[in-house]
Amino acid sequence: DQQVKQNSPSLSVQEGRISILNCDYTNSMFDYFLWYKKYPAEGPTFLISISSIKDKNEDGRFTVFLNKSAKHLSLHIVPSQPGDSAVYFCAASAQGQGAQKLVFGQGTRLTINP
Amino acid sequence: GAGVSQSPSNKVTEKGKDVELRCDPISGHTALYWYRQSLGQGLEFLIYFQGNSAPDKSGLPSDRFSAERTGGSVSTLTIQRTQQEDSAVYLCASSLMANVLTFGAGSRLTVL
């Protein structure tokens, strides 16, 4: 039962353009969402998060959008840079239910082409 | 320490052997998590420790898997009688603030 899904295993974007990574979830109890970035041979690192009381959170080049009715969130990176090439994981938790574990998606490999 | 430290970074073992993977969390972090990533898959939750509370073991795939956390700090994940499907990168994470996990670099386990 995949509660968090990233349906695109890979995405290729030209440097300077916008990268849009998508994530869908099925559990309506999820109320906190995060994006993590992972380089090869390293652990995932926290990128940006959003609470279900918001529909947008912005941090520099990174913006996360949340559409609760569609159970969908997306990460926008603009402008994309070669250093953004990595695997991106979305994650969710049901904080309001006292659940502290994060449920992760399968990841999307983003490649930024010069 | 400055980050989450895991050892060994790589482990190759024969099917049927037991393995132990170690995690040193960030000092002061009360929560500790184990996840694994199999080839081409996402991060699969295994177990979660929070302070002195009973651990959440709901993600352990079989009774061959166990974990303990001694003194609220170092954790050991033990896999008994390893199988080929146990091959994966085992990731440990710790956190002070709910949800923002800091991950280690992982232990890559290969079962031949």
pLDDT in tens, chain A (114 residues): 689 999 999 999 999 999 999 999 999 999 999 999 999 989 999 999 999 999 999 999 999 999 999 999 999 999 999 999 999 999 999 877 666 788 999 999 999 999
The yes-or-no verdict on residue B101 having pLDDT over 70 is yes
pLDDT in tens, B63-83: 999 999 988 789 999 999 999
CA–CA distances in Å: residue B106 to residues A39, A79, A108: 12, 30, 19
CA distance B78 to B97: 27
Contact A89 B103 (CB under 8 A): no
CA distance A40 to A86: 8
Q: ω into residue B25 within 30 of 0, thus cis? A: no
Q: Note the pLDDT of residue A68.
A: 95
Dihedral sign for Cα atoms in the order A88, A89, A90, A93: negative
Decide: helix, strand or coil at residue A96. helix
CA distance B26 to B11: 23
**Considering only CA atoms, which of B38, B60, B62 is closest in space to residue B48?**
B60
Q: How confident is the model at residue B17 (pLDDT cuts 50, 70, 90)?
A: very high
Residue to mutate among A1, A100, A106, A109, with most B CBs inside 10 A, is A100
Percent of chain B with pLDDT over 70: 97
Task: Say which residue the tokens 């938790």 belong to.
Answer: A93
Q: Note the pLDDT of residue A99.
A: 66
- C-beta separation of A15 from A112 below 8 A: yes
Q: How confident is the model at residue B1 (pLDDT cuts 50, 70, 90)?
A: low
Q: Note the pLDDT of residue B39.
A: 83
In this complex, is the C-beta atom of B25 within 8 Å of any C-beta atom belonging to chain A? no
pLDDT in tens, B19-65: 999 999 999 898 999 999 998 788 999 999 988 888 999 999 999 99
Task: Say which residue the tokens 């990176």 belong to.
Answer: A77
Give the tokens for residue B98.
Answer: 């709910």
Residue type, A16: G
Q: Note the pLDDT of residue A78.
A: 97
CA–CA distances in Å: residue A16 to residues A9, A44, A107, B97: 21, 24, 22, 34
Decide: helix, strand or coil at residue A82. helix
In this complex, is the C-beta atom of B76 within 8 Å of any C-beta atom belonging to chain A? no
Q: Note the pLDDT of residue B98.
A: 64
Q: Note the pLDDT of residue B2.
A: 76
- C-beta separation of A104 from A34 below 8 A: no
In this complex, is the C-beta atom of A95 within 8 Å of any C-beta atom belonging to chain B? yes
Taking residues B10-24, report their average pLDDT.
Answer: 97
